Amino acid sequence: MYLLDTSVVLAYILTPKRLGTKTMRLFQKPNQMIVCSVSIAEIYVKQMLGKLELESPIDTLVPDFGFRSSGFSLEMAMELPSLSGLVGHDPFDRMIAATAMATGSTLITSDRALLGLGFDWIVDSYK
């Protein structure tokens, strides 16, 4: 399974050419793609702050693409201390990474801080 970081969800919807060839191939199996409820919350916050406009509500777009969804659970929150390298980093990103850890998913992201952690389960969306 592949967990999509918020930036990857938005790139796929708005500017898919920004994503790498390997990443775009993964989208051919949308039922293996997971979008965390944390990403939906982050997108709504961006919209409320006037930093993002979408033609359709994100909660309708995600199922339209065939992606699976995941909530953020206590089990996932308990993974946060394992990500000490992200202290002070964006809390949404920390929760998304914790979700990937708890679900055993590969996290697809363009976030340099996440990629810089050196975990083999975090992959670059630009590839």
What's the CA gap between 26 and 118, in Å, rounded? 21
User: 72 and 101 in contact (C-beta within 8 Å)?
Assistant: no
What's the CA gap between 75 and 94, in Å, rounded? 14
pTM of the entire predicted model: 0.92
CA angle in degrees (0–180, nearest 5) for 45-120-16: 45
Each of the 127 residues of the chain gets a pLDDT tens digit; together they read 999 999 999 999 899 999 999 999 999 988 899 999 999 999 999 999 999 998 888 878 778 888 888 999 999 999 999 998 888 899 999 999 999 999 999 999 999 999 999 999 999 999 9
User: 105: which residues sit within 8 A by CB, 6+ positions away?
Assistant: 1, 2, 3, 34, 99, 121
Name the fold adopted by 2-124. Rossmann fold (3.40.50)
CA dihedral 94, 97, 103, 108 (to 10 degrees): 150
Helix, coil or strand: residue 42: helix
